[in-house]
Amino acid sequence: MTQIGSPNRKPTVFLLFFAGVLIAFLCLSVIFTYSSSDPIHAHSRSRSTDTCKCAGNDENPPPGFNLGFDPPVLTFYDDPSFGYTFDTPVKNWDKKRRQWLTLHPSFVSGSEERIFLVTGSQSQPCRNPKGDHFLLRFYRNKVDYSRIHGYDIFYNNVLLDPKMVGCWAKLSAVRAAMLAHPEAEWIWWIDEDAAFTDMDFKVPLERYKDRNFVVHGWPREVYEEKNWLGLNAGSFLVRNCQWSLDFLDAWADMGPQSKNHEKWEKILWKTFKHGADDQTALAYLLVKEKEDNLRSKVHIEIEYYLEGYWVVIKDTLKNITDKYAEIEKREKVLRRRHAELVSEAYAKLWEPHLKDAGYGYGSWRRPFVTHFAGCQPCSGKNNPAFSRESCWEAMDKVLNYADNQVLRNYGFTHPDLSNPSVVTPLSFRH
Ligand SMILES: *[C@@H]1O[C@H](CO)[C@@H](O)[C@H](O)[C@H]1NC(C)=O
C-alpha cells in the first residue's frame, strides 16, 4: 500500500485524477445520449391498443432506468386537478400511464411484468413492546424478497387519508402507489405481519394476463357460501390500470371516510354478520355482482399461498426443511455458492426437483407467504383463540426460516429457528 508521504504518492494522485476525468467524461456522454434521443418516436412501436396494459418491449433492453431524466413535456402530473386521494378521481389512466412510459423510454422494457410492493404500519410506536422489533424483521424479510427479485418496495407509515384508519389505510397507500409508479404494471399489497417464506417463488403473472385483481382465497367459499373469510385481503395484486382505480373507488366507498359509510355498514352487517372492514367490503364487491365485468377480472388464487395462515403452516416447516436438505444433498449444483443477485437462476434449477411437491395446503414446497393473521404483533391484542406466546414463537421460527434462505447467500445459517441471534457459518460441502 502507498504510504502517505511516500515517493509514490504524487504519480498515484495524478493517475487517480486522470481516471476521474475519464469516468466523468463517460458518464456525461451517457447522459447526453439519453437526453438527446427522441423518446416519443424511438419507442412509439411499444404502444399497446389494449386498454388495460402498457406493453413493454424486450428488444434492445436499455442498461437500466434513467433516473435523471424527466422531459419538460406536460403529463398527468402537471394537471392541476390531478391528486393521489380518493376524492380526486382519475380518468383515462391507461392512456396517461402509456404516455408517461413513452416519455420515459428507459422504463418501458419489462414494464408489462413489473411488480411494485407496498406495505405499511402505523405512524406511532407499537403498544406491544416487542411489536416494533417484529415489524422491523417482517419488513426486512420483504426487502430481502424484493432485492432478490429486483422489485421496488414502499413502506408507508402514515394515514394518507386521515379518515381511512386501520386496515382501510392500505387502500389509500395502494392508490397513491399506482399513481406514483406508472412504470409498474402490478402493485402488490402485503400486510405488515406477513412474511415471504419461499424466497425463490415468484407469482405466476402469466396466469393473470386477463385479470386485474388477484387475492388468495377459496372461490366456492366466496361466491357460493358468501363467506367473507373465504378470502384474505392481507396480500393482493392489483394491475395498475383504470379498471383497478374504479375498483378501488368502489371498495373505498364502503370505508370510514366515505359519505356512504353508514349505509354500507348496515349492508355489510346484514350480509356477513360482521362489521365494515377492508375484507368484508372486498368480499361484498365480489359477492354482490353476478357474472359481470368485475368477477371476470378478479382471480381468487387457491393454488398456492399468495397468503397462508400461520397456524396451518408453522408445524410443516421442519419436514419441508428436511425434504429440501435431502434434495440438496443429492444435487451438487444446488449447493453451489453464488452471488445473491443470480438467485433466480438457482430457483429454476430447483424446480424439476419440486415438481411433485405441490403448492399450498398439504404440499411440501416451501409455503410462499406466511401471514400472522390474528396475532396483531403491534397492538399485542391477539385473537383469543391462541396465546400471545404461540404467536411470538411462530414468528421467530417463520422469520428465521425465511432468513436462512437469505443468509445462505452470505455464508451463514440459523442452526436453531427459535433463536434469531445465533448464526453459524454454512458448510457447502456435504
Ligand atoms: C413430518 O414427517 C413425519 C415422518 O414422515 C410424519 O410422521 C409427520 O406427521 C410429519 N409432520 C407434519 C407436521 O406434517
pLDDT digit string, tens, across residues 255-302: 999 999 999 999 999 999 999 999 999 999 999 866 577 889 999 999
pLDDT exceeding 70 applies to what percent of the chain?
84
Starting at the edge strand found earlier in the chain, the sheet holding 213-217 runs 152-156, 115-120, 186-190, 231-239, 213-217, 298-301
b/e for 69-102, b at 16 or more Cβ within 10 A?
eeeeeebbeeeeeeebebeeebeebbebbbbbbb
- For residue 319, report the distance from its CA to the centre of ligand 1, in Å: 6
Give the Cα separation of 364 and 139 in Å (integer). Answer: 25
Burial class (CB in 10 A: 0-12, 13-18, 19+), 305: buried
pLDDT band at 3 (very low <50, low <70, confident <90, very high): very low
> Which protein residues touch ligand 1 with a CB less than 6 Å away?
315-316, 319
- For residue 318, report the distance from its CA to the centre of ligand 1, in Å: 9
Which of 23-37, 315-329, 371-385 is least confident?
23-37
Counting from 1 in the atom list of ligand 1, the atom nearest the Cα of 316 is: 13
- Report the pLDDT value the prediction gives residue 235, as an integer from 0 to 100: 98
Which contacts of 331-340 are long-range, i.e. CB under 8 A and separated by 24 or more positions? 335/428, 335/429, 335/430, 336/428, 337/411, 337/428, 338/409, 339/409, 340/147, 340/148, 340/406, 340/409, 340/410
Give the Cα separation of 23 and 21 in Å (integer). Answer: 6
Task: Cell 458448510: give the residue.
Answer: 427
Q: pLDDT for 309-324, tens place per residue?
A: 999 999 999 999 999 9
For residue 131, which of 198, 57, 192, 61 has the smallest C-alpha distance? 192
- Mutation pick for ligand 1 pocket among 319, 361, 363 (CB with most ligand atoms within 8 Å): 319
Q: Is the pLDDT of residue 234 over 60?
A: yes
Burial class (CB in 10 A: 0-12, 13-18, 19+), 302: middle
- For residue 361, report the distance from its CA to the centre of ligand 1, in Å: 14
- Span 97-112, mean pLDDT? 96
Nearest protein CA to atom 4 of ligand 1, as residue: 319
For residue 344, which of 63, 85, 207, 147 has the smallest C-alpha distance? 147
